[in-house]
Amino acid sequence: MKHISVMLEETIALLNVKPDGIYVDATLGAGGHSYEICKQLTTGRLIGFDKDFDAIERTKKRLAEFGDTVTYVQGSYTQLTEKLDELGITEVDGVLFDLGVSSPQFDDPERGFSYRFDARLDMRMDQTQALSAYEVVNNYSEEDLIRILKEHSEERYAHAIVKHILRRRPVTTTFELVECIKAAYPAKELKKGHPAKKTFQALRIEVNNEFAEAKDAVDQAVNLIKVGGRVVVITFHSIEDRIVKTIFNNYGKPAKVNPRIPVVQEEILHYKLISKGTKASKWELEDNNRAHSAILRGIERVV
């Protein structure tokens, strides 16, 4: 299956790539966005981050024609400031985030991300970390399992799903987990799409600490860009989008004040919002199902 990068044209346009600039792709994935950035660079440089060793190796092949223009960092995007400092870089012209799991990870049965394939429960983006979906499903308490299903994916049948998981433990494979979920769903709900979607999403977010890491990394990125630089983020989850929107608004919108109290000095903003929630075009939605939940946001440093 060919990987299609979500909102590729809109994202690259928003990033406003300068030929001599330094850019960070904080989520290399399959390298689609990175390839388009590199095409516009002459003396510039791209630093690509990914937790996933397989993603790094795959993208090295895709970007081989650009040679030393690209530097690869296997690690979490929460290490942005640290790793760039090691490379002697203190500010950049742009940072791109394409949050969530990449299509190749979903499409690899052995990674255990998808309810479409039978595999051992895993869902680790970084395969060297200890915590996997197996440990979460089989070792978390009833209260914690219910909490993550509700908080991470707003699963309305969280209590029933967890009761079926507890009865079946150990739950070893993706299909065994799907059976627990189906058993918990009312028959009429099973006709409305795959019932495992929200549970798998919640487990993946928990395993990879996605919300907390995204918040940390996007905040770092905003502080790394130079004047004229931009941070561009694609999200696929309403809670994740809310996190990004809040961070951007904190930097790019004036603080709310009581209109009855006179302002002594007008607040000087160092950033401006350049996209307040763009969605994929109807033409892209026809060809790329993954784009349906995508939201694109951006911020630029102006002072």
- In this structure, what are the phi and psi dihedrals at residue 235, rounded to the nearest 5 degrees? -115, 160
pLDDT string in tens for the chain (303-residue length): 456 789 999 999 999 999 999 999 999 988 999 999 999 999 999 999 999 998 999 999 999 999 999 999 999 999 999 999 999 999 999 999 999 777 777 778 889 899 999 999 999 999 999 999 999 999 999 999 999 999 999 999 999 999 999 999 999 999 999 999 999 999 999 988 899 999 999 999 999 999 999 999 999 999 999 999 999 999 999 999 999 999 999 999 987 766 676 655 566 899 999 998 999 999 999 888 888 999 999 999 999
Helices 8-15, 32-39: crossing angle, 10 deg rounding: 50
User: Could you give the CA distance from residue 118 to residue 112 in angstroms, rounded to a whole number?
Assistant: 8
Helices and strands of the chain, counted as H and E runs: 13, 7
Q: What is the pTM of this model?
A: 0.91
The CATH homologous superfamily for domain 8-104+211-301 is Vaccinia Virus protein VP39 (3.40.50.150)
What are the residues facing 70 on neighbouring strands?
Answer: 46
**Interatomic CA distance for residues 151 and 158, integer angstroms:** 10
Whose tokens are 């075009």? That residue is 281
**How many CB atoms sit inside 10 A of residue 254's CB?**
11
Element (H, E) at 122: none
Any alpha helices (H) in the chain, and if so which ranges?
8-15, 32-39, 53-62, 80-86, 103-107, 133-139, 142-153, 158-168, 174-184, 197-208, 210-224, 238-252, 282-287
Candidate CATH numbers 3.90.550.10, 2.60.40.420, 3.40.470.10, 1.10.150.170; the one for domain 111-208 = 1.10.150.170
Strand partners, 276: 297
Reading the block at residue 213, the tokens are 């890491």
Q: What is the pLDDT of residues 109-148, one digit of tens each?
A: 889 899 999 999 999 999 999 999 999 999 999 999 999 9
- Could you state, in order of their start, the residue ranges of all structural domains in the chain? 8-104+211-301, 111-208
Per-residue DSSP letter, 71: E
Using DSSP, state whether 203 is helix, strand or coil.
helix
